[in-house]
Chain A
Amino acid sequence: MSRITLSKLAHSYLANPTSDADFALKEMDHVWQDGGAYALLGASGCGKTTLLNIISGLVRPSQGRVLFGDTDVTDAATTERNIAQVFQFPVVYDTMTVRDNLAFPLRNRGMDAAYIAKRVGQIAQMIGMEDILSKKARGLTADAKQKISLGRGMVREDVNAILFDEPLTVIDPHMKWELRTQLKQLHREFGHTMIYVTHDQTEALTFAQKVVVMHEGRVVQMGTPEELFETPAHTFVGYFIGSPGMNLLDAEIAGSEARLQGVSVSLGAAYGPTTGRTQIGIRPDYVTVSDQGLPVTVRRVEDVGRHRIVRAEFAGQPLNAILPEGMTLPADPRVAFAAGKINVYANDWRIAPMGA
C-alpha cells in the first residue's frame, strides 16, 4: 500500500495533440493519500476511466509521471503494479468455477493453497456466494458475475490500491446498497486505498471520505461531501452535486452586496473586485419562499415526498427553491437567500471572500 502521486499528468488519445481540446485529461497534479477512500465523480466522458486506467497502467499517459510511494511506475506494466481494478461490466473466466475465479489473482501470485482457501472463503462470504463456489461462472446472471469481479478485485490483501470503475451499474438497487456498505467496511478493516469512479452523486457521497469531481478532463475540486455541498469550487460542482443543483444567477459584486437586475442582495461577506462573467450561487436548500425578497415567477412545483421543489424564474434565469413540507406557496411568491450560504463565481471558478 502506498500513496499515489500524479505529477504533471496529461493524456491524449491522439498521436499529436495540438489544442487543449485534444486532451482527454488536462495537465494535473494530484495526490491520493495512502488508505484514503476516494470517489471520482463526473459526467460521462469527462476522463474518469482514462485516469483510472492510467493509475492501473492499462493506459500509458502521454505526459507526466505516476508514482506509487516514491517509486516511479509510469513505465511499469499493469502486472508489476499489483493493483486491483473492477470494471463497469462483469469480466469472469467462463470456464472456471466461482472458486477458481476468486482464487485466480492469488494463484498468479503463487500464494500457498491454505491461504488461498481461507481468503476465498472470506470473500465468498462477503459477496454472499458461499453456496455456489463450485459452480461454473458461465451460467450465472450478470449481477452474480459482477459480484465475482468485485470479489476478485478484493481478494488480494497486499494491493497498492483498489480501483472501481462504476462497478455497481449492473447490480440491482437493493444489492447495490449492501455491496457499497461492505466496500466501506472492507476499507475500514484493511485500509486499502480505494478509488471509486461513478457518475452517481449519492454513490459517491455515501462511499467516500473525499470526493474528487472531474469536469472536461480536469479535476475541479477535491473535498469532503460537505465542502462540495457548501462551497463548490466550480459552477460544475454546484450544478452536478445536489438535487436540484445550485442556482446560478448573473450578478455584479460590490463589496458585501450583489446586485441582481437592480436588486441588492446581501452576501454576508465582502469580496474584492471581480473580472469576467460574475455569478452568485445559492443552493435551493438555502432559498426561502415567502412574501418578501426577490420577485419570482413560479413555473412548476414538484412534490418529491419529503419536500417540494419550486421551479421558478428570476429575470429570465431559472431559480429553484425547496419548500419544506407543510408550507404553502404565497400568492405573490418572493424568495430570500440565506446570507452566509452564497458563493461568488467569476468565469465559473469560486472566489473566496476577503479575509477568508
Chain B
Amino acid sequence: MDKTLNNKAWFLVLPVLVLVAFSAILPLMTVVNYAFNDTFGQNEFFWAGIDWFEEMVTSDRLHEALGRQILFSVIILAIEVPLGIFIALNMPKKGFWASFCLVLMALPLLIPFNVVGTIWQIFGRVDIGLLGHTLAAMGIDYNYTNDPIDAWITVIVMDVWHWTSLVALLCYAGLQSIPQAYYQAAKIDQATRWSVFRYIELPKMKGVLLIAVLLRFMDSFMIYTEPFVVTGGGPGNSTTFLSIDLAKMATGQFDLGPAAAFSIMYFLVILLISWVFYTVMTNLDREENR
C-alpha cells in the first residue's frame, strides 16, 4: 500500500507544541537566560558567561544542601520501599477488607502537600500537638524546632506516612497479577515463604517496583512543600533541602543568576540519576533474558 504524503498533518501537532512551549520550553529558556547574564532589573542584561555556574559549583552552601538532599532521598527510599512491599504482601487479596485497605492506603495520597505539612507541623508541636505533647509527657525530649535530629525524624516520618502507600499500592497491583498456579506450584515444590517471595513475588513485582523507586526518588529529590511548612528548612539550615535552598536564593534573596545556574544543574542531576537508574534496571532485565 502506498502511504499518502500529507504534510498538513503536521499542523495537528501544533496545539501541543504551543502548549509545551509556553509551559516548559519558554520558562526554561528564561532560566537559561538568567543563568548566563546578570541583571539589575529594567530588563537590562549583562553577559556573565559561566560565572554563576563556577560560583555555584564551588559553593559550600550548595554542597551541604546536596548532601542533605541525597541523605534524605536514600533514607526515605530505604524505608518506604521495603515497608511498602511488606504492607502489600500482608494486605488481604479479596473481599471487603481488601477494598477497605485500598481506600485506607489511598487516603494519605489524597491530601494536598501543604496540608500534610500543616498536619505534621501541628501534630509535632510540644505545646498543642498530640504527638509532641504526648512525647513530652512521657519524658522524651522532643522538639523539632530546636533539635536538628528531631526535625529530621519528623520530616522523614511525615514523608513515610505520606508516600509509603504509593509504593504499597503499586506493589499490591503487581502481586495481584500473579496467577494462583504459581503459589500452588510453590507449595507442591515445598518452597519456603522466603523462596516464594524471592522467586515468584519479587520477579513479578520488578516492573512496578522500578516505577515506584523512580517516582519516589524524583519526588523526594525535589521535595519542597512539606518540610518547608513543618520546619521552614530549620533549625538553622539542617532541613534545608535543595529546592528549599533554591527558593530561598531566588525569591528570598533575589539572586536570580546563581539561582538559575543552580536550578539548571539541579535539573541535570535529576535527569542524570534517573537515566542511570533506568538504564541499570533495564539492563538487569536484559541480562536475565539471555
Contacts and interface: CB of A to CB of B under 8 A. Distances in A.
A57 to B, nearest CB: 8
Contact of A93 (B181, B199, B290): B199
A105 B186 CA distance: 9
B30 interface: no
Contact of A87 (B184, B191, B200, B203): B184
The B contact surface, by secondary structure, is helix
A189 to B, nearest CB: 22
A149 B190 CA distance: 14
Interface stretch (A14-22, A77-85, A261-269): A77-85
A93 B288 contact: no
B190 A79 contact: yes
A91 B181 contact: yes
Q: Which bracket fits the contact residues of A?
A: 20 to 34
Given A136-B288, A138-B288, A138-B289, A93 B188 contact: no
Contacts of B191: 79, 104, 108
Contact of A108 (B189, B200, B289): B189
Contacts of A224: none
B23 interface: no
B199 A78 contact: no
A95 B187 contact: no
A84 B189 CA distance: 7
B178 to A, nearest CB: 11
Contacts of B185: 85, 87, 91, 149, 152
A85 B288 contact: no
B192 interface: yes
Interface string A71-115: 000000111001111010101011110000000110011000000
Contacts of A153: 188
Contacts, number: 59
Contacts of A93: 199-200, 203
B189 A105 contact: yes
Interface string B254-290: 0000000000000000000000000000000000111
Interface string B38-82: 000000000000000000000000000000000000000000000
Interface in A54-82: 56-58, 77-79, 82
Contact of B199 (A56, A82, A96): A96
Contacts of A139: 289
A108 B189 CA distance: 7
B289 A91 contact: no
B188 A108 contact: no
B99 interface: no
A57 B187 CA distance: 9
B97 interface: no
A109 B290 CA distance: 29
A104 to B, nearest CB: 5
A108 B200 CA distance: 15
Interface string B181-220: 1101101111110010001100100000000000000000
A87 B190 contact: no
A56 B184 CA distance: 10
B190 A108 contact: yes
Interface in B105-133: none
Nearest to B288: A136
- Of B182, B190, B195, B288, most buried by chain A (CB within 10 Å of CB) is B190
17 contacts: A53-B184, A56-B188, A77-B187, A79-B187, A83-B188, A87-B181, A87-B184, A89-B181, A91-B181, A91-B184, A94-B288, A104-B189, A109-B190, A136-B288, A136-B289, A149-B185, A152-B189
Closest 10 CB pairs of A and B: A78-B187, A91-B185, A105-B189, A108-B190, A95-B203, A93-B199, A79-B190, A85-B188, A91-B181, A58-B184
Interface of A: 53, 56-58, 77-79, 82-85, 87, 89, 91, 93-96, 104-105, 108-109, 136, 138-139, 149, 152-153
Given A58-B188, A108-B189, 10 more contacts: A58-B187, A78-B184, A78-B188, A79-B187, A89-B181, A93-B199, A96-B199, A104-B191, A109-B190, A138-B288
Interface of B: 181-182, 184-185, 187-192, 195, 199-200, 203, 288-290
